[in-house]
Chain A
Amino acid sequence: GEDVEQSLFLSVREGDSSVINCTYTDSSSTYLYWYKQEPGAGLQLLTYIFSNMDMKQDQRLTVLLNKKDKHLSLRIADTQTGDSAIYFCAEIRHTGRRALTFGSGTRLQVQP
């Protein structure tokens, strides 16, 4: 099965909060990331959290990390139509190799 799992689709209304969830299986993960991908484009780094942190907030974005449950979430406050995209969580494992392991991606649809 997947090492990093995400729900495939989330739909919210403009102005609501969006919460995108991610679970991972490797407890040795050091950094956990959230990337945004718009259609036909590359990946945009949104935010990241080090594994010894519980929470990180950056403007409309809040990342929560529950190491015990290996659960990561991204909350987008006051979601806008421009937030519609695919969101990937990704991890770097404590193996010395810095390649990312990605989740399947969550498509966020924001309805006006």
Chain B
Amino acid sequence: GAVVSQHPSWVICKSGTSVKIECRSLDFQATTMFWYRQFPKQSLMLMATSNEGSKATYEQGVEKDKFLINHASLTLSTLTVTSAHPEDSSFYICSAGTGDQPQHFGDGTRLSIL
């Protein structure tokens, strides 16, 4: 079945650092990928829709300059958390799918900012 790979799975870095998270569709092409954020013991909240070859669509309240999304190919989307601060610490998950097929999720990236 469809598989989505996310990397890294866990990153710890100092405040002020920029962190890049990759989301890959391994056996299918995805023109659209989605980035979600999950705080402890909470549900997933959609951050943005990543569109191949065009600008991402951000949800209300999500800073575009803070969370940079690049979808340069049909199998890769990246989320860069720029100048990360402790309040950016969270679990970030991407998803991808094709046509009307269900979305498949990556294993998530745990980001810890010290």
Report which A residues bind B (CB closer than 8 A).
Answer: 31, 33, 35, 40-45, 48, 88, 97-105
Instruction: Decide if A42 touches B49 in the complex (CB within 8 Å).
Output: no
Given contacts A98-B97, A98-B103, 20 further A-B contacts (CB under 8 A): A31-B100, A31-B102, A35-B105, A41-B107, A42-B107, A42-B108, A45-B102, A45-B103, A48-B102, A88-B43, A98-B32, A99-B34, A100-B44, A100-B46, A100-B95, A102-B44, A102-B45, A104-B42, A105-B42, A105-B43
Q: Are A41 and B108 interface neighbours, CB within 8 A?
A: yes
Interface size on B, residues (CB 8 A): 21
Give the chain A neighbours of B46 by CB distance below 8 A: 99-101
Q: How many A-B residue pairs have CB under 8 A?
A: 49
**Interface membership of chain B positions 78-114, coded 1 if the CB is closer than 8 angstroms to chain A and 0 otherwise:** 0000000000000001010100101111111010000
A40: min CB distance to chain B, Å: 7
Complex Cα spacing A102 to B46, Å: 9
Query: How long is the Cα–Cα vector from A48 to B34 in the complex, in angstroms?
Result: 19
**B34, A33: Cβ atoms closer than 8 Å:** no
9 A-B pairs, CB-CB below 8 angstroms? A41-B108, A42-B105, A43-B44, A97-B49, A98-B103, A99-B49, A102-B43, A102-B44, A105-B43
The distance from the CB of A34 to the nearest CB of chain B, in whole angstroms, is 10
